Amino acid sequence: NNIQLIIAGSLSILAALLHVCCIFGGPDWYLFLGAGQRMAQLAAQGDPYPTIATLVIASILTGWGLYAFSGAGVIFKLPLLKTCLVLITAIYFVRGFAGLVAPFLTSDPVVHQNSITFWVLSSMICCVYGTFYLLGTAKLFRQ
């Protein structure tokens, strides 16, 4: 039993579901969950870009959740399991650390369309996700 990977997978699935909620919730959900004013405006205009981008992100997060569940033995073994879990862990940590630093090092409008609060909060969340993946993946390697 690898409870850390079960938690990691559940968190990734939760994140995927929240992304899908943006599609159905519309511009207010995009804003509330930090997608930025531009995405909210495009969603309000009926542009397909926010829906497509959000579905791609939700699909990736779902895949990551499935890899965590596979590593925990909850579902069948997926290909390149350990390699993918290491990469997923790294991506969560890179996103987490980059989001804690980038808003303070750049004036890029793409970065600053979101608030400092968004960057700090979402980055801390990514670091927590990464920590569960790290602990669970390390346990898997020890088994």
**Beta carbons within 8 Å of 22's beta carbon, 6+ residues apart:** 29, 30, 33, 35, 43, 50, 54
The reported pLDDT for the residue numbered 50 is: 96
CB neighbour list of residue 44: distance below 8 Å, 6 or more residues apart: 26, 27
pLDDT of residue 30: 93
| Residue pLDDT, tens place only, 1-11 | 899 999 999 99
For 64-97, how does the pLDDT look when each residue is reduced to its tens digit (9 = 90+)? 999 999 999 999 999 999 999 999 999 999 999 9
